[in-house]
Chain A
């Protein structure tokens, strides 16, 4: 079972470059999330989606964009990379019965902006 798959695992970007972090799930979950994890700061929600065609901002959306054209995929786009976006990014999925079930996380993408 693949679960939640993130690509790439590691990436180094130069300031001003763009990239897309990919997230794919085979769990048929409606809810998908992007978090960033900064050292000692826990996880902060960037964007989330409750289903195909629906996205919404989380706590720290500036500098990012998302789309959700299918249930399976939820890519995160960085248009003009900045050093402040150096972080580990996690994609997660959940079913609508969230409060009584768990969220499933990908292995993360470690991004460094230099």
Chain B
């Protein structure tokens, strides 16, 4: 079945440091890939997405590129802020015609940014 593997956390960085959170996936066909973010006490919300190979998703200074050859979708940000402290989830969906679209999630990576 489909699966998503994220780098284990937690990750602690100083403000303005460079962030990379690795994500690789296993899925047949051509999945869409997502990064969701969960701030403390809240539900998940979409951070960015990419729906085909070589697409780059970006939002709020975060970027991720859909690499089909390496089955990866690594999240990056050049300069993190304290407000970026959250849990980040990589996810995929491979909805096929006639079936419900199901999101498959990675285990999440806790990011803490120190001032």
Contacts and interface: CB of A to CB of B under 8 A. Distances in A.
A99 B32 contact: yes
Interface residues of B, number: 23
Contact of A41 (B4, B103, B107): B107
Interface stretch (A13-21, A72-80, A102-110): A102-110
Interface string A13-54: 000000000000000000101010000111101001110000
Contacts of A31: 100-101
7 contacts: A35-B105, A58-B102, A92-B44, A98-B93, A99-B93, A107-B42, A108-B42
Interface of A: 4, 31, 33, 35, 40-43, 45, 48-50, 56, 58, 90, 92, 94, 96, 98-100, 102-103, 105-108
10 tightest A-B CB contacts, nearest first: A98-B101, A105-B43, A102-B46, A42-B107, A42-B105, A43-B105, A99-B32, A105-B44, A107-B43, A50-B100
